[in-house]
Amino acid sequence: MKQRIYLIFILLGCWFLFLGNPLCAAENRQKVYIIPVTGTVEPGMAAYVKRALEEIQDEKEAVFVFKLDTFGGRVDAALDIVDFISNIPQGKTIAFVEKRAISAGALIALSSNVLFMKKNTLIGDCAPITQTQEGQKMAGEKIQTVLRARFRALAKKNNYPVVLAESMVTIDMEVYSVVMEGQKTYMDKISFDDLTEDEKKKISAKKTIVAKGELLTMDDAEAFDLGFSQKSVTDIQEVLSLLGYESMDIITIEESWSESLVRRLQPILPILMLIGIGAIYTEIKAPGFGLPGMVGILCLGLVFCNQYLVGLADYTELLLLLIGVLLLGVEVFVLPGFGVAGISGLLFIAAGLVLSFQGFVVPDPAFPWEGKLLMKNLAQVLGSFMLAFFISLFMIRFVLPQFSKIVNGPYLDATLESSHVDVTTALGIEPGDTGLAHTFLRPAGKVMINDKKIDAITRGDFIEQGTIVVIDRIDQNRVIVKPKTS
């Protein structure tokens, strides 16, 4: 019996030694992480993707699936996401277009090593758009050149058709499908025109894929035919099955509550900034510290915290805002009126807000959109200041005085319009009483009536001192006298 027990322990030990602990094996199973990239591409999305990848950066064997459904958004945020994805080891990233990957979404999709598209989905059209006084217009060649180079680099890295990838950005690019000596290739018009006559004779077929004045936009079937998509699938499970990942642990990384809050606040940040600045100005013009000041600090705090969480604001912006608030505090509580401290405080707050809306201080000429973003942020902040100023004036002049009619009292509704001391009662005199002119009345002076010295006035006559006078009448506490006739 003892020999059998020893044998069992020896066999178990060998099993653990050579096969490993089953619990550890379960923990070390390869994982597939699904990261949804949905909605507008903006700094909040970039912060979410960065956080998701940083949490699992030590898992060298993990596979990452980026589930895309976006119409695009900001170029700088898209490039940040592309950088995060490009740092993942080759062969570990998969893009799955669930509904659409338009504009910046197409750039993110091509940054992955392989691409799958759900049936009836779209990808493409990455022309950079800028906002002008005339409306939205396509950005200039400087921005297109940078994006074209990025599309070209991603296409070469992940084996996508380079010329077709560039045609997603450039609307003046004309691309052909050319069959030369049995080999199919894609050429733009410039490259095709540069072919020699002997090379052109070797062409057996030519087809226009992207016409001039168009941007390449593909559905799932076209993306497969043109060499972008691996296959049109029904869902993400089919993708994992095709790649042999169906038995792996599949984990979806969702946005945290703070990241969701940040993305919800992003569209209304200009409104919060407008309310915050207006409330701060109202507080400066009102005595003491009350509700407008708290509302202003809360709104500007939300704006700064939002930008801090997405990685655009840092201690520099926080310091500028704190200095601005302190200067406004000096203006409110220490110095009368509104002067140098108040203006300086608003300038510091404006500088902090502008920097919190961008990830740079001075625009880099290599990234032309940074200059446009700086001008947009300046216009947004200064416009909010001006609009808040006029709204605050309107509130102070017309809205706040009406609160007394809405909010229950107690209020003082009496005035001093008719308040006065009754001379008849206080001095004990009345019309018809006689007295003596104590001083010259020219026409005002003093008279003695009932042994009381009283200010009096005539109807314009001059009365000598010592003349006997009689009270003609009392008009609104004015004692009017005239010489007494016999």
pLDDT score, position 213: 86
pLDDT score, position 231: 94
241-264 per-position pLDDT tens digit: 999 888 888 899 988 877 787 778
pLDDT score, position 27: 45
- Name the residue among 168, 166, 165, 164 with its Cα closest to residue 176: 164
* Angle of CA points 475, 481, 482, to nearest 5°: 135
| pLDDT for 308 beyond 70 | yes
378-402 per-position pLDDT tens digit: 888 888 778 877 777 777 677 666 6
Say how far apart CA 321 and CA 277 lie, in whole Å.
12
* pTM assigned to the model: 0.65
Mean pLDDT, range 427-446, rounded to an integer: 85
336-360 per-position pLDDT tens digit: 555 787 788 888 888 888 887 777 7
CB 73 within 8 A of CB 44: no
Task: Pick 137 or 481 by higher pLDDT.
Answer: 481
Mean pLDDT, range 26-53, rounded to an integer: 84
Peptide bond into 443 cis (omega under 30): yes
- Name the residue among 327, 324, 342, 333 with its Cα closest to residue 289: 333
What is the token pair recorded at 54? 């940083």
pLDDT band at 109 (very low <50, low <70, confident <90, very high): very high
- Name the residue among 275, 285, 273 with its Cα closest to residue 391: 275
Backbone angles phi, psi at 60, to 5 degrees: -70, -25
| Full strand arrangement of the beta sheet holding 175-180 | 183-188, 175-180, 203-210
Mean pLDDT, range 184-212, rounded to an integer: 90
- Please report, for residues 93, 169, 173, 213, the alpha-carbon distance to residue 208 in angstroms, rounded to integers and kept in the order given: 32, 17, 11, 13
pLDDT score, position 294: 83
